[in-house]
């Protein structure tokens, strides 16, 4: 009997153990960083666990069987894996979660040069996260900005709420920075979008309206700050390859090559951290044969980010970006019968360029109240035209900024800083001028308990070009953010912005396409008064509506114009301008974490109030909408962009016969489709992405005589290991 | 039911993709072009006092003697260029006094006169700019205009401080 009881207990125990399994593994983000506190749920069993500080989870005593496992965490897309078989042996299942944009919880650092939630800002802001860049398979950041609300790209010139038209690369009214380091070139002041390593972007923060009170010149229309990825805590390699083709043009008369023109991108990144030292190395090669004749490019990008943590509160970060590129030079189309071919006089032109940026950022947090950081950078740009004019330019821009933040108590934060830059140019176009600029700023933010946040600040700037008299500017700013209820936020701001003319706008002297351009040493800084009021209403993560009204008064607006005395073109302070508008943004989660919809509408009234005519290249209506459908492992996305016909473009080029059929322009309708499929279920740490851009194959222009990209298809594979 | 909804949605989507207009369209095939030429004229230096008219002129044969400067050899005369102009983009098709036809032209220049009334005598005209090919200033460039063809980029620089060689008076 005694033996029988022992046998029965043994069998019972064995049976009990045989019916219970263990599942364990890690949950990380796409960069391999462990995610702490992610929830792992086993179907409807009630079994579950959370990840520990190393991102590890373990669920024990699971009855044998086949289960569906879901992993979720705030800020990341929910991941579901079905058909996980639990048996006597421990089962290891690892998860990589993809970041998700939850606008209301989004943290930004650009608006006030310190970390704060987007809902705390007194100004309008939006964020593009890395996953959006990846899914849209953008090769250059300017393509991604075309989806951001209120932003227009006029070829390669960015315009926030109508701030800019098109001036063929001379000057910009939007300051673009990488990790807070501005990247406008020393000669033309333009943004070289291609130098920004798209695969290394964590997010892109966009601040709308004048931000000169913190950023000085150029930030007259807003700021776009590219935040690069943090260095992963463990070794991590990322590999991505894309191949695509342009479709045939809509009309056979436009089919200049008889081929479907291919393009490809290859990127390899490795990141690691050894003790207190971490680094990221990235290399990218991008080749595009061009849908237009002489519109090809071949580009090599290098990127290094290295970081050393001296202590938990101090660190030094080194950034280096490089770009070497050879590209064709498509200026204007030949005529409407040959929109994909350049004019005969421009054929065969190409431009060879090299751009190199080095940055050093030292951060130190003395204590909970006082911190500072020092940002220095050197940006070299060089290019030469292989055209009849043989234009060339080499420019260096050395820049330094010391920023000190002081938090006196829980209510008051002071942000202050000093910034200086030196520029030097050697060029046959712009002569060999030098530039100097310096600014000092102070901003205070006080949080009342109502809860109201009050922002008050200002910046003094001095700038000097070569031997011309220096100019100074004061840019004050005032802003409030008031949380009416937990889901209703009111904001308002007023600020002055300014932009010093670039060396190119001041000193360019050349003849191009039969037009002589002359220098204008009398050119002075332009300025604006930027006003905005907005309200944001949300219902949890399901619904968010944002409404903003804005007005920008521009003084001494810098535009290219023709001197009636001699017929030469020059940049002058030609007008007073007013840009008013309304912007709405709607985000709806139709099926939580599965189906989301967004729609952003901007109404622009952009007028030259002296000549009583519309400003060039500003459409009256812009509407960007998108639909995203996620059912793991598949994701589908639709982006639809439309804007009304621009009222004015460079009509003088048409009148002079330089751009035949140049007055052809239309309202724009662009549909982009993307789909991605995670390969993790197949045991591969990656995903496949397919894109159809301009799916309607709609023919439109962003600037005169330049047809925008026709329909194109691409497939990308990306792996992380 | 769900299947029909999906099929209907897909059908609508495909119809939407194919039903939209295509935006910018090519202009109908251009009719045969009128023969002509055009480009830009750049003036350097100060305009002389007393100039009454300035024209772009083309001659069929080279101006080897003053006798070649005659109405039969003169193939084209542009509208007058305003006094003091620094740069002008021109077309031979716009308001010519003597329109041009297809053919070969040995001498294309910008000529000025100071006479109150229009004169066709050689002595009354001064050449301030000549059309050259590839910046070869040793000899005037020949302009060839094929039938139904417009030749662009026929550019001439007129430097008042460094005028070209004058044809025989």
| DSSP type of residue A261 | -
* Start-end of CATH 2.170.130.10 domains in chain A: 103-215
* Start-end of CATH 2.60.40.10 domains in chain A: 2-97
**Chosen from B24, B37, B134 to mutate, greatest number of chain A CBs within 10 A:** B24
What is the enclosing helix (H) or strand (E) of A142?
Answer: helix A141-145
B116 touches chain A (CB under 8 A): no
Q: For residues A493 and A519, give the distance between their C-alpha atoms in angstroms, rounded to a whole number.
A: 37
Residues A2-11 have a mean pLDDT of 44
- A186 pLDDT more than 70: yes
Burial of residue A155 (number of CB atoms within 10 Å: 0-12, 13-18, 19+): middle
pLDDT at residue A223, rounded to an integer: 94
pLDDT band at B122 (very low <50, low <70, confident <90, very high): confident
CATH number of A103-215: 2.170.130.10
Determine contact, residues A80/A68, Cβ cutoff 8 Å.
Answer: yes
Task: Compute the count of residue pairs across chains A and B with CB atoms less than 8 Å apart.
Answer: 71
pLDDT at residue A15, rounded to an integer: 42
Other C-beta atoms within 10 Å of B48: how many?
A: 12
Q: Is domain A222-720 annotated with CATH 1.10.3210.10?
A: no
Contacts of A643 in chain B (CB under 8 A): none
To the nearest whole Å, the CA of A433 is away from the closest chain B CA by: 25
Q: What is the rounded end-to-end Cα distance, in angstroms, of chain B?
A: 96
Among B17, B30, B86, whose Cβ lies nearest the Cβ of A566? B86
Determine contact, residues A121/A108, Cβ cutoff 8 Å.
Answer: yes
- A512 pLDDT more than 70: no
Partners of A654 in beta bridges: none
DSSP per residue, A485-532: SSSEEEEEEEEEEEEPPPHHHHH--EEETTEEE---TT---EEEEEEE
To the nearest whole Å, the CA of B19 is away from the closest chain A CA by: 9
Residue A388, classed as helix, strand or coil, is coil
CA A461 from centroid of its chain's CA atoms: 27
What is the enclosing helix (H) or strand (E) of B16?
Answer: helix B2-19
Percent of the residues in chain A that have a pLDDT greater than 70, as a whole number? 94
Q: Which residue of B has its CA nearest to A344?
A: B152
A696 touches chain B (CB under 8 A): yes
Residues A287-299 have a mean pLDDT of 95
Other C-beta atoms within 10 Å of A590: how many?
A: 13
pLDDT at residue A68, rounded to an integer: 83
pLDDT at residue A8, rounded to an integer: 41
Residues A666-674 have a mean pLDDT of 95
A53 touches chain B (CB under 8 A): no
Determine contact, residues A138/A319, Cβ cutoff 8 Å.
Answer: no
Determine contact, residues A152/A622, Cβ cutoff 8 Å.
Answer: yes
pLDDT at residue A176, rounded to an integer: 94
pLDDT at residue A308, rounded to an integer: 95
pLDDT at residue A567, rounded to an integer: 65
For residue B5, report the phi and psi dihedrals to the nearest 5 degrees: -65, -45
pLDDT band at A103 (very low <50, low <70, confident <90, very high): low
- A562 pLDDT more than 80: no
Determine contact, residues A100/A106, Cβ cutoff 8 Å.
Answer: no
A566 with B155: Cβ contact below 8 A:
no
pLDDT at residue B90, rounded to an integer: 87
B19 touches chain A (CB under 8 A): no
pLDDT at residue A283, rounded to an integer: 96
* Start-end of CATH 2.40.170.20 domains in chain A: 222-720
Q: For tokens 């700013």, name the residue.
A: A477
Q: For residues A694 and A72, give the distance between their C-alpha atoms in angstroms, rounded to a whole number.
A: 34
- A148 pLDDT more than 50: yes
Among A250, A337, A511, whose Cβ lies nearest the Cβ of B22? A250
Among A656, A669, A701, whose Cβ lies nearest the Cβ of B89? A656
Comparing A431-435, A441-445, A471-475, the range with the smallest average pLDDT is A431-435
pLDDT at residue A682, rounded to an integer: 83
Q: Which residue of A has its CA nearest to B41?
A: A514
Distances (CA, A) of A499 to A211, A219, A463, A581, A647: 11, 7, 10, 22, 25
pLDDT at residue A694, rounded to an integer: 95
B24 with A337: Cβ contact below 8 A:
no
pTM over cut 0.80 = no
Tell me the pLDDT tens digit for each residue of A365-405: 988 899 999 999 999 999 998 876 688 899 999 999 999 99
What is the enclosing helix (H) or strand (E) of A132?
Answer: helix A130-135
pLDDT at residue A11, rounded to an integer: 40
Domain boundaries, chain B: 32-159
CATH topology of domain B32-159: Immunoglobulin-like (2.60.40)
Tell me the pLDDT tens digit for each residue of B27-81: 886 566 688 998 889 999 999 999 999 999 999 999 988 888 888 888 999 988 9
Closest CA to A119 of A105, A137, A99, A129: A105
CATH number of A2-97: 2.60.40.10
Residues A15-20 have a mean pLDDT of 50
């Amino acid at each position: 009997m005694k033996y029988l009881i022992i046998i029965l207990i043994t069998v019972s125990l064995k049976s009990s153990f045989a019916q219970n399994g263990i599942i364990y593994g890690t949950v990380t983000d796409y960069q391999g960083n462990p995610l702490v506190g992610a929830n792992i749920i086993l179907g409807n069993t009630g079994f579950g666990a959370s990840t520990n500080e190393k991102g590890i989870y373990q669920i024990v005593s699971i009855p044998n069987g086949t289960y569906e496992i879901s992993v979720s965490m705030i800020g990341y897309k929910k991941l579901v894996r079905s058909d996980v078989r639990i048996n006597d042996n421990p089962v290891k299942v690892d998860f990589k979660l993809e970041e998700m944009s939850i606008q209301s919880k989004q943290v930004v650092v650009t608006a006030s040069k310190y970390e704060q939630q987007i809902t705390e800002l007194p100004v309008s802001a939006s964020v593009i996260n890395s996953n959006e860049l990846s899914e849209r398979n953008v090769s250059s950041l300017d393509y991604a900005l075309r989806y951001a609300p209120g932003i227009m790209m006029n070829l390669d010139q960015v315009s926030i709420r109508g701030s800019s038209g098109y001036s063929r690369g001379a000057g910009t009214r939007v300051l673009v920075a990488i990790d807070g380091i501005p990247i406008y070139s020393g000669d033309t002041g333009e943004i070289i979008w291609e130098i920004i390593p798209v695969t290394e972007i964590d997010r892109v923060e966009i601040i709308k309206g004048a931000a000169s009170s913190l950023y000085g010149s150029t930030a007259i229309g807003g700021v776009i700050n590219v935040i690069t990825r943090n260095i992963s805590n463990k070794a991590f390699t990322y590999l991505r390859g894309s191949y695509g083709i342009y479709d045939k043009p809509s009309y056979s008369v436009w089919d200049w090559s008889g081929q479907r023109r291919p393009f490809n991108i290859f990127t390899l990144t490795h990141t690691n951290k050894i003790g207190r030292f971490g680094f990221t190395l990235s290399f990218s090669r991008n080749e595009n044969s061009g849908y237009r004749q002489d519109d090809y490019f071949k580009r090599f990008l290098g990127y290094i980010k290295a970081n050393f943590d001296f202590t938990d509160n101090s660190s030094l970060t080194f950034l280096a970006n490089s770009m070497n590129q050879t590209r064709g030079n498509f200026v204007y189309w030949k005529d409407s019968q040959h929109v994909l071919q350049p004019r005969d006089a421009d054929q065969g032109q190409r431009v060879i360029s090299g751009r190199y940026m080095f940055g050093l950022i030292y951060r130190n947090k003395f204590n909970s109240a006082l911190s500072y950081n020092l940002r220095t950078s050197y940006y070299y740009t060089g290019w030469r035209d292989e055209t009849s004019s043989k234009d060339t330019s080499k420019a260096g821009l050395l820049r330094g900024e010391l920023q000190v933040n002081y938090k006196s108590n829980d209510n008051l934060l002071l942000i202050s800083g000093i910034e200086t830059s030196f520029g030097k140019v050697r060029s046959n176009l712009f002569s060999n001028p030098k530039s100097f600029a310096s600014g000092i700023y102070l901003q205070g933010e006080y949080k009342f308990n109502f809860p109201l946040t009050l922002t008050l600040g200002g910046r003094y700037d001095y700038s000097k070009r070569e031997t011309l008299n220096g100019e100074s500017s004061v840019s004050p700013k005032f802003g409030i953010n008031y949380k009416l209820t937990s889901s209703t936020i009111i904001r308002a701001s007023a600020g002055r912005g300014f932009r010093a003319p670039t060396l190119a706008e001041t000193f360019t002297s050349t003849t191009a396409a039969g037009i002589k351009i002359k220098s204008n040493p009398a050119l002075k800084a332009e300025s604006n008064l930027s006003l905005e009021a907005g309200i944001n209403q949300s219902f949890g993560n399901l619904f968010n509506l944002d409404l903003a009204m804005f007005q920008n008064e521009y003084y001494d607006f810098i535009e290219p114009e023709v001197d009636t005395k001699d017929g030469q073109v020059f940049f002058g302070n030609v007008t007073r301008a007013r840009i008013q508008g309304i912007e709405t943004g709607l985000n709806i989660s139709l099926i939580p974490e599965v189906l989301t919809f967004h729609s952003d509408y901007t109404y622009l009234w952009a007028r030259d109030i002296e000549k009583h005519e519309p400003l060039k290249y500003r459409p009256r209506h812009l509407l960007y909408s998108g639909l995203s459908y996620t059912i793991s492992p598949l994701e589908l996305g639709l982006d639809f962009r439309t804007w009304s016909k621009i009222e004015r473009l460079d009509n003088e080029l048409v009148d002079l016969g330089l751009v035949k059929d140049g007055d052809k322009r239309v309202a724009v309708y662009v549909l982009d489709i993307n789909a991605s499929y995670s390969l993790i279920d197949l045991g591969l740490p990656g995903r496949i992405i397919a894109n159809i851009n301009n799916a309607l194959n709609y023919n439109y222009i962003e600037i005169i005589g330049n047809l925008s990209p026709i329909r194109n298809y691409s497939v990308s594979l990306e792996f992380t290991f | 039911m769900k299947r029909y909804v999906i099929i209907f949605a897909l059908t609508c989507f495909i119809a939407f993709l194919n039903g939209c207009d295509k935006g910018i369209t090519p202009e109908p095939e251009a009719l045969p072009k009128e023969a002509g030429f055009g480009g830009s004229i750049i003036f350097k230096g100060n305009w002389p006092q007393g100039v009454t008219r300035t024209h772009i002129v083309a001659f069929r044969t080279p101006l080897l003697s003053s006798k070649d400067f005659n109405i039969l050899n003169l193939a084209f005369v542009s509208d007058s260029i305003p006094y003091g102009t620094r740069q002008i983009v021109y077309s031979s098709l716009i308001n010519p006094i003597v329109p041009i036809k297809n053919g070969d032209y040995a001498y294309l220049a910008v000529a000025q006169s100071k006479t109150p009334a229009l004169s066709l005598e050689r002595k009354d005209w001064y050449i301030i700019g000549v059309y050259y090919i590839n910046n070869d200033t040793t000899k005037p460039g020949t302009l060839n205009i094929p039938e139904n063809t417009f030749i662009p980029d026929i550019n001439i620089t007129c430097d008042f401080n460094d005028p070209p060689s004058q044809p025989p008076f």
